[in-house]
């Protein structure tokens, strides 16, 4: 199955049923590991909103929720700079923090968020990401503890991820189709 967004064509990569099953397993793992704690889940907007909502539906323990919004992307690639748009207004000192990301690729944005969060001296910080591109990492991150899917270094849309602001509403995840080069 393929979809077209703006000037690009995308092919199916992960169906919603796969995402839902993996999210359920991540929820079980988080429930066990934070059984006697009250973690604060911090969703990284905009991309994480669908994953965060589905993940929280699987969480049975007491928890709190907050959001941060940062941006480092334009089109298909990172700008190399992180711009904080909306900051955290919650005290993180001595709290157990779980950052919820849609995707970790270069690690630039996540590294920035982790530095910001750690300045407030939380008890612990772990990252839960739906998608992880190990071959794209340029900023090594040790705090990634929960990964939905490892994927190749390909541009993806759907399930919260966008291309030029479009495609976030797709329930499945799609990868960009290879465009044949002109000779």
Contacts (Cβ under 8 Å, ≥6 apart) of 38: 61, 62, 63, 64, 96
What is the separation, in whole angstroms, between the first and last Cα of the chain? 28
Per residue in 143-173, is it b (16+ CB within 10 Å) or e — as a string?
bbbbbbbebeebbbbbbbbbbeeebbebebb
Distances (CA, A) of 65 to 38, 46, 74, 109, 156: 10, 15, 27, 20, 26
Report the distance separating Cα 48 and Cα 145, nearest Å. 16
Catalytic residues: 105
The secondary structure of 132-155 as a DSSP string is E-GGG-SS--S-EEEEEEE--S--
């Amino acid at each position: 199955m393929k979809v077209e967004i703006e000037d690009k064509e995308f092919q199916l990569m992960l169906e919603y049923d796969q995402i839902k099953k993996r999210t359920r397993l991540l929820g079980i793992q988080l429930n066990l590991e934070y059984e006697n704690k009250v973690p604060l889940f911090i969703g990284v907007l905009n991309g994480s909103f669908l994953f965060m909502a589905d993940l929280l539906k699987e969480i049975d323990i007491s928890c709190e929720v907050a959001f941060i919004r940062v941006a480092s992307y334009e089109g298909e690639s990172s700008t190399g700079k992180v711009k904080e748009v909306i900051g955290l207004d919650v005290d993180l000192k001595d709290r157990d923090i779980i950052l919820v990301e849609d995707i970790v690729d270069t690690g630039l944005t996540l590294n920035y968020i982790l530095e910001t969060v750690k300045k407030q001296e939380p008890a612990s910080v772990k990252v839960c990401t739906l998608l992880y591109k190990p071959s794209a990492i340029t900023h090594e991150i040790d705090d990634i503890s929960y990964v939905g899917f490892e994927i190749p270094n390909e541009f993806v849309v759907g399930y919260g991820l966008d291309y030029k602001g479009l495609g976030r509403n797709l329930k499945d995840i799609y990868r960009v189709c290879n465009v044949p080069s002109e000779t």
